Structure formats: structure tokens, C-alpha cells
């Protein structure tokens, strides 16, 4: 008898010839995430199995695996040799402390095992009921399911609990992206959404130290730690100072354009970093209509500064409430709502332009040494590596 964790994957199943690539990618990610926990990951028909671990680490292992994009669900199971009496004995043991309603589901890949699945489920149900008066059968809406998986290799897996994974596609299967990570609610969610689609992330954060505080920076690092759990390994954050650039626009340009000018500089720096690091896309938490800088006109004028890198805005059509729900699920909400200044809130005009015109913005940029200021900010980028938990 040994303890194992069964890992099911969802959407990968839809893949035809490429399926092996996605499976290998997910298996690698799971193996890496479990390094140090002394266990092995195997592929068995259409799923993975983790075994060899210390049973006291089981819940920790489950918590790690359900955060790997591509995982549909996870069940801790007990594996025994296929033997009717042994199965009955173990099922009694596993259910003796339970209360509530249940059903038994048998899956018999080994057709030499008798009786058939329906009959065996019925027999086991009878045994369970007799052994524990606190249980009742409910085949429609049971509180838990006793699953008996009789495999062809003469092994049987028995499990009663299933934990849902994040779904999506394994990280590393859909390119590499640079997440523009602020301290707000939206950008961590945008990063999670893209990691869930299979994109391996690095992050770029702009600060205006000393106008923005050291605490604001720590907040961003903490947010990055949460995202790192979904990123199949560490997450690098590039910290870029915008202080001098912001002082210059504030001094020289019409202040209704402050935000547009700042955002164009951010995107220009992001594109340069993508090219240097071999990243294929810029990812933002922008959301149509949410604030002045997120009208279609603003997004167009800002996006126009990027020449040949794709910009992904996974939250563009979300409602704020939907974004908040995801941020709570990934545990970033409470961190995001801490009230520190972001560089976008330093030097904000009372009435920022909501429908900027490109030619006017370019006129404003001519009042600055735009490229020199960008070079200067770029040269001061520092990198911090955030470990996953
Ligand atoms: P968020 O909640 O992500 O901060 P927001 O609703 O505050 O977004 P904006 O301030 O307009 O909206 O920012 C839009 C997007 O621009 C952010 O989602 C993020 O991707 C990027 N961004 C904003 N500020 C920064 C920053 N200081 N560093 C890096 N990226 C930023
Ligand atoms: Mg913000």
C-alpha cells in the first residue's frame, strides 16, 4: 500500500499531435515545483502520478500542484494491489470517520476483475453503510465520492478527495512575456491570467523613488511572490526609476499630458527590455474605460510607441468586480489595496487628457530629450529575483 497524488490535466487533452510537448512541459513544471520534496512524477495513461513522498508533506504537495497552470484537478489516493478483499478493507477504513452523504464510483480498466463496475460499487456502498451509521447514499448530489480506479496493471487506486487546479496550459508552452507590474489590483491578475495561458513571465516595475516609498517597492515584491507561484519557477522583476523623466515632463510639458507621456516612456522601455531579454510580449492590466489613461484613444496613442512587440491586455473587457474576484483567489487583493503611492499617481494633473491626439503628444515629447531620458532610466534598471513559495 502506498500513498500517491493523482494529477489530471484538462485542456491539454484537446491537443492532437502536439500533446506530448504539452505533457512534457507540465511534467517538468511539476517536477521542478516539487524539487526538495523527495518525490517522483510519472506519467500514467492520460495523467500524472506523484509518489515516494513523506505522507506528512502530502497537503503541501497538493497545494503546489494545483497552482501549476495546465492542472485540472488533483486527488490524494492510496494504491494497493488489485484484490477484492483488500479493496473492501481499505474502503471501510477510509470512510469510517466520515459523516454525510456519499456514492461509490468504480472505474474498471481491468475487465478481468469481477464483478463489473456497477455491481462492485453497489456492494461497496452496502459495506460502507453497514460499517458507518453516519453515512447515507446520495447518487445525485453526494457530499463525497469514493472512487475506485481498477487499472490494467493489477493496481487499484482509491480516493475520496479532489482539489481543483487552475486549469489552462502549462507555463512555458505559450511564449515569454514582460508583465508591467504596478502595486494595483489589476496587473497581478493580468499576470496570473497569462501564466495560466502558458506564458512564462518576467516583470517590470516603474518607481519614482523618493516620491514613491520603499514600502511601495516591498509591496510590489510581495505581489510578485504570489505570481511566482504560478510561474513555474522564480520571477525576475526589473525595477526602473522614472523619477528624472517625470520631473522633466512636469517641468517642460503641458501637465494634462503627464500620464500619456509617462505611459509612452514606460512602453518604450518595456519594448527595449523585451528585445534584450528575448521576451515576445508586453502584458498590462489595462481595462477599457476604467480610468482616463484607458480610453481607446489613450491606449492607441500609448501603444503606438511600441513598434514590433505584441501588447497583451488580458483584462481589457473585465468588470472591476470580476478582476477583484480573481485577485482574491490568487491572494493578491489584500496586498494590492495597501495605500502606497504609485509612480502613476505622482504629479497627476487634475484633468488629464482622455482623448489624446498623437501629433499633440509628439509635440510635447519634443520639449524633452525623450530618447536620452529613456536611455538614462533604462541604464538604471535593477533586477530582483523573487522566489516562489
Ligand atoms: P493596476 O491596478 O494594475 O495598477 P490601474 O487600474 O491602476 O492598474 P493604470 O494605473 O492606468 O491602471 O495602469 C494600467 C497598467 O499599466 C497597469 O495594469 C500596469 O500593467 C501598468 N502600470 C501602471 N503603473 C505601473 C508601474 N508603476 N510599473 C509597472 N507597470 C505599471
Ligand atoms: Mg495602478
pLDDT for res 345 = 77
CB 171 within 8 A of CB 198: yes
The CATH code of the domain that includes 14 is 3.30.2130.30
| The pLDDT of residue 253 is above 90 | yes
Residues 56 and 193 occupy one common structural domain? no
CA of 223 to the centre of ligand 1 (A): 13
- Are 214 and 275 members of one domain? yes
| Measured distance CA(230)–CA(189) in Å, rounded | 11
Q: What is the pTM of this model?
A: 0.93
Nearest to 26 by CA among 39, 16, 11: 11
The DSSP 8-state label assigned to residue 255 in this structure reads: G
- Give residue-wise pLDDT tens across range 365-386: 999 999 999 999 999 999 999 9
Ligand 1 neighbour 185 (Cβ under 6 A) = yes
Mark whether 108 and 198 lie in a shared domain: no
Q: How confident is the model at residue 350 (pLDDT cuts 50, 70, 90)?
A: confident
In a domain, 373, yes or no: yes
Ligand 1 near 181 CB (within 6 A): yes
Q: Are residues 152 and 18 in the same domain?
A: yes
Question: What tens digit of pLDDT does each residue of 193-218 get?
Answer: 999 999 999 999 999 999 889 999 99
| 37 and 133, same domain (yes or no) | yes
> Does residue 351 sit in the same domain as residue 219?
yes
Question: 14 with 157: CB under 8 angstroms?
Answer: no
Strand positions, DSSP E, 199-352: 200-207, 235-241, 281-283, 310-312
Ligand 1 contact, 293 CB (< 6 A): yes
pLDDT at 314 over 90: yes
Residue 265 CA, ligand 1 centroid: distance in Å = 13
Mean pLDDT, residues 127-142 taken together: 96
Q: How far is the CA of 255 from the centre of ligand 1 (A)?
A: 19
Structural domains in the chain (count): 2
Band (pLDDT 50/70/90 cuts) for residue 175 is: very high
State residue 138's pLDDT score.
97
Question: What percentage of the chain reaches a pLDDT higher than 70?
Answer: 99
Which grid coordinates belong to 194? 497569462
Is 171 domain-assigned?
no
Last residue of a domain, one of 132, 164, 196: 164
Instruction: Return the CATH number at 257.
Output: 3.40.50.620
Q: What band does 27 get if pLDDT is binned at 50, 70 and 90?
A: very high
pLDDT band at 16 (very low <50, low <70, confident <90, very high): confident
C-alpha cell belonging to residue 312: 497583451
Q: Which domain holds residue 99?
A: 2-164
Please state, in angstroms and rounded to a whole number, the distance separating the CA atoms of residues 84 and 115: 10
Q: Are residues 262 and 116 in the same domain?
A: no
Tell me the pLDDT band of 19, cut-offs 50, 70 and 90.
Answer: confident
Amino acid at each position: 500500500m502506498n500513498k500517491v497524488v493523482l494529477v489530471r490535466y484538462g485542456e491539454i487533452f484537446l491537443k492532437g499531435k502536439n500533446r506530448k510537448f504539452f505533457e512534457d512541459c507540465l511534467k517538468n513544471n511539476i517536477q521542478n515545483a516539487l524539487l526538495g520534496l523527495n518525490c517522483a512524477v510519472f506519467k500514467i495513461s492520460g495523467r500524472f502520478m506523484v509518489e515516494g513522498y513523506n505522507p506528512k508533506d502530502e497537503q503541501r504537495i497538493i497545494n503546489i500542484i494545483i497552482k501549476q497552470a495546465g492542472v485540472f484537478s488533483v486527488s490524494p489516493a492510496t494504491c494497493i494491489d488489485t484484490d477484492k478483499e483488500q479493496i473492501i478493507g481499505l474502503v471501510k477504513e477510509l470512510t469510517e470517520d466520515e459523516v454525510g452523504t456519499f456514492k461509490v464510483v468504480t472505474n474498471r480498466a481491468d475487465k478481468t476483475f469481477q464483478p463489473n463496475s456497477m455491481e462492485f460499487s453497489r456492494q461497496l456502498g452496502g459495506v460502507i453503510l453497514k460499517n458507518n451509521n453516519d453515512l447515507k447514499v446520495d447518487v445525485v448530489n453526494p457530499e463525497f465520492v469514493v472512487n475506485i480506479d481498477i487499472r490494467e496493471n493489477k493496481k487499484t487506486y482509491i480516493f475520496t478527495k479532489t482539489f481543483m487546479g487552475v486549469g489552462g496550459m502549462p507555463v512555458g508552452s505559450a511564449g515569454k512575456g514582460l508583465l508591467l507590474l504596478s502595486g494595483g489590483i489589476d496587473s497581478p491578475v493580468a499576470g496570473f491570467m497569462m501564466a495560466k495561458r502558458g506564458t512564462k513571465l518576467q516583470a517590470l516595475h516603474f518607481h519614482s523613488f523618493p516620491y514613491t516609498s520603499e514600502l511601495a517597492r516591498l509591496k510590489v515584491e510581495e505581489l510578485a511572490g504570489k505570481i511566482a507561484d504560478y510561474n513555474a519557477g522564480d520571477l525576475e522583476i526589473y525595477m526602473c526609476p522614472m523619477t528624472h523623466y517625470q520631473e522633466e515632463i512636469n517641468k517642460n510639458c503641458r501637465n494634462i499630458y503627464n500620464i500619456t507621456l509617462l505611459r509612452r516612456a514606460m512602453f518604450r522601455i518595456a519594448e527595449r527590455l523585451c528585445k534584450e531579454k528575448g521576451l515576445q510580449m508586453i502584458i498590462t492590466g489595462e481595462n477599457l474605460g476604467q480610468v482616463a489613461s484607458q480610453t481607446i484613444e489613450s491606449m492607441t496613442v500609448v501603444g503606438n510607441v511600441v513598434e514590433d512587440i505584441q501588447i497583451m491586455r488580458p483584462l481589457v473587457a473585465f468588470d472591476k468586480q470580476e478582476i477583484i474576484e480573481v485577485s482574491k483567489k490568487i491572494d493578491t487583493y489584500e496586498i494590492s489595496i495597501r495605500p502606497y503611492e504609485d509612480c502613476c499617481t505622482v504629479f497627476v494633473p487634475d484633468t488629464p487628457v482622455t482623448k489624446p491626439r498623437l501629433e499633440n503628444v509628439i509635440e510635447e515629447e519634443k520639449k524633452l530629450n525623450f530618447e536620452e531620458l529613456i536611455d538614462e532610466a533604462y541604464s538604471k534598471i535593477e533586477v530582483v529575483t523573487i522566489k516562489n513559495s
